[in-house]
Amino acid sequence: MSEKLLTGSDAYKQLSSLFGEDSVVRPESIQKVDIIKTNSPGLDRAIGVGGWPRGRLIQIAGQQSSGKTLLSLCAIAQWQALDPENCAAFLDAEFTYDPRWAAKFGVDNDRVYLVKSNDAAPLFTGLVGKVRKNKVTQKVTKVAGLFDMIESNQEITYENPATKKVVTLKCGKMGVIVLDSVANLQTPTESEAEVGKQNMALTARFLSVELKKLTPGIARSNVAFIAINQVRTDLGKMFGNPESSPGGRALKHACSLMVEVAPMGGVDNVLLSASEEKIGHRVRAKVSKNKVADPNKQAEFFVNYSEGIVNQNDEIFDVGVKTGFVKKVTAQTYSIFDEKPAKKDKVVEFIAANRERVESELRTHYLSGQAADVTAESIEEETVSDPFAEDDEFEDV
């Protein structure tokens, strides 16, 4: 006797009872991934979906002064430019956030929720929240973290340490969270250890547990979580690349996008001012891991230390040639929008004069991609409004 086949809503109802509500995603709910432009057309193409994917964990790793923080600040500026109420969070574990430098890239510091701390436990607790139990009634409640506040569109009123102004931010408009940096996080074991005491892989062991809580919150709140990381050299490694990033393999496995940035050497890869001072350099960004598009693509672009990513017109030309948007007619002539064939400098001038139209067409037909959003199981518990409230009647579970 054959078993009855379940179809449609009955099948989803049974699956939901097995795996939990909201854990089974209907095909019609899978949509194109939301993105935030990187401000580099070449990097947008290398990522594959046209920019930084929202709802995903992103790692930017690289050498010192390679442009990691600059890329994250450009992402914040691009997000804030979309809406006057859009805001971002910057978790400054290195205590180096400079509001004047950030403002040069278009960042509105009044719309940046700035947290200066490198204590890993409170930082992660502030993001994902925590469960507490009343000592008297034994009732379990959940203290809302930043991700919960974003989901419920709560407001944060606080004194911005960068501008010294009291500002109110709508959490529902928070699209970017930057952690600068993973390498400078201090785990509970390190904070309690004696000076000079050595411990092995503390950050890696801490992240391997806490990332399981972090990634569902990122997906639910639909923010682009950018984790900046440094590089280290593995002493004694004789074969292969000796460089590695702190945090072990846990962060590499958890992130959906991993971008490695490095400055390029050579005279042609340096930006000079009128007085022959170095004001920028060319960056090579390699997408070494990608779960929203094809991996192992790379982009090259110039960064100016006071302006951010520059020379986008030349970059649009190079991306256009690679994608076929700019047609190569002969060895030295090109055509765009069926215009008369011309040399590269003339085509770049045309791109500069028609920047909005050209970039819109390029992004619509060549830099956009399709990917599925992550849907995580939601936690339905009583929520305490203040994520950092302390009360003697409660104890952490």
Task: Transcribe 237-262 into DSSP letters.
Answer: --SS--EE-TTTTHHHHH-SEEEEEE
- Judged on CB neighbours under 10 Å (0-12, 13-18, 19+), 95 is exposed
Beta bridge partners of 112: 88
How many whole angstroms separate alpha carbon 332 and alpha carbon 318? 13
- Residues whose CB falls within 8 Å of the CB of residue 260, separated by 6 or more in sequence, listed in order: 61, 62, 285, 286, 288
How high is the pLDDT of residue 59? 97
- In whole angstroms, what separates CA 331 from the centre of its chain? 39
How many whole angstroms separate alpha carbon 47 and alpha carbon 296? 9
How high is the pLDDT of residue 392? 54
At residue 365, φ and ψ (nearest 5 deg) are: -105, -20
CA distances from 161 to 95, 98, 119, 165, 330 (A): 11, 11, 18, 8, 57
- In whole angstroms, what separates CA 274 from the centre of its chain? 35
CA distances from 107 to 58, 65, 86, 218 (A): 20, 20, 11, 22
* Continuous H helices in 56-154: 68-82, 99-103, 120-128, 146-151
Q: Which CATH architecture has domain 31-311?
A: 3-Layer(aba) Sandwich (3.40)
Tokens of 270: 């340096």
Residues in the chain: 397
- Residues whose CB falls within 8 Å of the CB of residue 19, separated by 6 or more in sequence, listed in order: none
Tokens of 63: 């050498």
For the chain, state the CA radius of gyration.
24
Report helix, strand or coil for 87. Answer: strand
At residue 43, φ and ψ (nearest 5 deg) are: -70, -35
**Rounded to two decimals, what is the model's pTM?**
0.86
Total H helices, total E strands in the chain: 12, 22
Per-residue pLDDT of the chain (397 residues; tens, 9 = 90+): 445 666 667 777 777 777 776 677 766 666 678 999 999 999 999 999 999 999 999 999 999 999 999 999 999 999 999 999 999 999 999 999 999 999 999 999 999 999 999 999 999 999 999 988 888 888 888 889 999 999 999 999 989 888 889 999 999 999 999 999 999 999 988 877 677 677 778 899 999 999 999 999 999 999 999 999 999 888 777 787 788 888 889 999 999 999 999 999 888 999 999 999 999 999 999 999 999 999 999 999 999 999 999 989 999 999 999 999 999 999 999 999 989 999 999 999 999 999 999 999 998 888 875 333 333 333 333 444 444 445 555 555 5
